[in-house]
Structure 1
């Protein structure tokens, strides 16, 4: 890699947030180089479930809600754009989502009325008819019929393919960033084992690793890894026609009959090993939701690291005192949900355009502290 590079922007991180940040910027003519420490799309973006909604949207702040609503409305168009450009279908699959036996159902319905979202109470007998595989014994249900899930490994594959087609984008994998290049109060690039990469702007979108990189500047960014384990079953197509969620665990159907069950929440640093304890717990949840899974073939068990942040509110915007450095990280459990809006907002701010939502809640200013 050359020491000097004619790049407008360096994006650190090749997950959904980094890939889509690069794509949105590149579509405006910006010259982008994306640096990924391992392989593009292989961390949290690959490991997640891909529900295009926060698990319990009414429990989040208006800041998360604003990004979620914009993204949910945009996802079908994003999938169409990527399919047309790359011939890779991210499979945005509208199945709807049932929440079963919630303790805060009244709050959920009040939130939906306030926000104009189509969440409704459904008779449990109607749910059983719609989802015959569902276990008996549930008493109450809420449904949002328009919730989709995206097949996240295919989404990141499509994003990568889209970037590869663009002459103003360069992607470097196996290229870990170790620090930032400073010129007075300005960030002018990044340091890597393959050499320095210079640019006018640097975007940090490194997921759970973002906090570690900010420490090299003496800044405490409260983004920490939170491990999540999931399991995957292969069933017949149509076995599960809708997503179901109870007791914090969910089942997500893919079009081809694969069923995802997730997920754990573990604070174990950067350890991504799977455990027998989590496997047993996830299998128990699977059978509790869908008894027929006791006899189904389990075809996968993995772990990913979410970028945990206070209240799950991401950091999007410029870093005060470090001109040229931008954040797009800390999305916790909602990276895939919030990605389209987050990346559009970032681009709006970087290019001086009217932002799609009020950027104030996500601004790094006032939310960062010095290490020490």
Structure 2
């Protein structure tokens, strides 16, 4: 394996890619246009499941299942190494009044996932703060959420503790350095940075960077807004989801409500319209929140991609360049499997998951 790898983009995908690579190469440099983990990795809710897993292709399902099974040990390992607990918090998830409940249950049976219909009275007994009027529920007991800002902090601390890893923040990339067609580095605001291999993990900005090579990667920013409440630590015992909106409990009583889905370019400005809509959803789900005021509102940019299937693997037209991007709404969910798969491919070991569905050369305009 090559001796120096440059990872462009310091979200959870980039951080975990660098963390996995460090055991196999002499040197890893990770760069980010701002501080690491400040974009969609920070902004998301951190549910360790796609919101509606049965609506995705087998390609997303394969990554999600591997990651879900791996997350508890990842959280424990990072907490032990850094003293920062990412809080992988298993609460289960209730889906309420689904239109496609039959499809969800059939998917669960095919994929051997513990998702089942539950009596609505038992749902209200388990989640007594739930709003009135819901008629049907399905429940998956083993769904966790991860406190994504803490996951980012833990990964950054783990990288900073490794002697062969350098993290360079506020190092925006303008384009790539080429030797013929081979990518040998990047031009950045901190100057030219050269490496044996370059990995692009720049989230919503990945498509723009590949445009500088004349490569049309169908990854675009999709804005999502969320709000946060602070309530009693035992207020909400489980995650709940209805009408496309969800409530996620943290261990300390914070409740996240999300999220919007907006095509607004790279604009991350929170809006009053979204605040009103999210507060209305919060009260529908959890009426007690009518007496509370959100303590925060924010927006992030998801890396939208066709069918939410990420691009993972080499770009044959430009040797030396690897992609791990385009995870859309599921970057946190899919990160452990995606980063393991990429490193498997880079170091030439047996892939943990069939890499074919994610191969860039079969899916983009070269």
Fold match (TM-score > 0.5): yes
Q: Cα offset for 1:30?
A: 4.0
User: Is 1:208–1:330's contact at 8 Å kept on the other side of the alignment?
Assistant: yes
The answer for the alignment partner of 2:17 in structure 1 is 21
Aligned with residue 258 of structure 1, among 245, 254, 261: 254
The answer for the alignment partner of 2:341 in structure 1 is 345
Instruction: Compare 25-34 and 337-346 and name the one that shifted more.
Output: 25-34
Superposition pairs of residues 7-18 of structure 1, within 5 angstroms? 8-18=4-14
The answer for the alignment partner of 2:324 in structure 1 is 328
User: Is 1:7–1:33's contact at 8 Å kept on the other side of the alignment?
Assistant: no
TM-score (norm 1): 0.97
Q: Cα offset for 1:28?
A: 2.6
Segments ≥4 residues shifted beyond 2 Å: 27-30
The answer for the alignment partner of 2:103 in structure 1 is 107
Alignment deviations for residues 219-275 of structure 1 (CA, whole Å, 9 cap, x no partner): 100000000000000000110000000000000000000000000000000000010
User: Equivalents in 1 of 2:295, 2:192: separation in Å?
Assistant: 42
User: Equivalents in 1 of 2:3, 2:203: separation in Å?
Assistant: 22
Superposition pairs of residues 93-104 of structure 1, within 5 angstroms? 93-104=89-100
Aligned with residue 199 of structure 2, among 174, 197, 203: 203
Provide the secondary structure at the position in 1 that maps to 2:142: coil
Q: Which sections of structure 1, spanning at least 5 residues, go unmatched?
A: 1-5
The answer for the alignment partner of 2:70 in structure 1 is 74
Provide the secondary structure at the position in 2 that maps to 1:244: strand
In the alignment, does 2:134 pair up with 1:135? no
User: Equivalents in 2 of 1:216, 1:90: separation in Å?
Assistant: 36
Instruction: Compare 288-297 and 46-55 and name the one that shifted more.
Output: 288-297
User: Is 1:18–1:34's contact at 8 Å kept on the other side of the alignment?
Assistant: yes
The answer for the alignment partner of 1:159 in structure 2 is 155
The answer for the alignment partner of 2:58 in structure 1 is 62
The answer for the alignment partner of 1:280 in structure 2 is 276
User: Is 2:5–2:25's contact at 8 Å kept on the other side of the alignment?
Assistant: no
The answer for the alignment partner of 1:3 in structure 2 is none
- Aligned-residue Cα RMSD (Å) equals 0.9
User: Is 2:248–2:256's contact at 8 Å kept on the other side of the alignment?
Assistant: yes
User: Is 1:7–1:198's contact at 8 Å kept on the other side of the alignment?
Assistant: no
Superposition pairs of residues 168-247 of structure 1, within 5 angstroms? 168-247=164-243
Provide the secondary structure at the position in 2 that maps to 1:203: strand
Alignment deviations for residues 49-81 of structure 1 (CA, whole Å, 9 cap, x no partner): 000000000000000000000000000000011
Aligned with residue 112 of structure 2, among 109, 113, 116: 116
Alignment deviations for residues 106-165 of structure 1 (CA, whole Å, 9 cap, x no partner): 110100000000001000000101001001100000000000000000000000000000
User: Equivalents in 2 of 1:123, 1:90: separation in Å?
Assistant: 33
How many residues align? The count is: 365
User: Equivalents in 2 of 1:62, 1:220: separation in Å?
Assistant: 24
In the alignment, does 2:122 pair up with 1:126? yes
User: Equivalents in 2 of 1:28, 1:238: separation in Å?
Assistant: 43
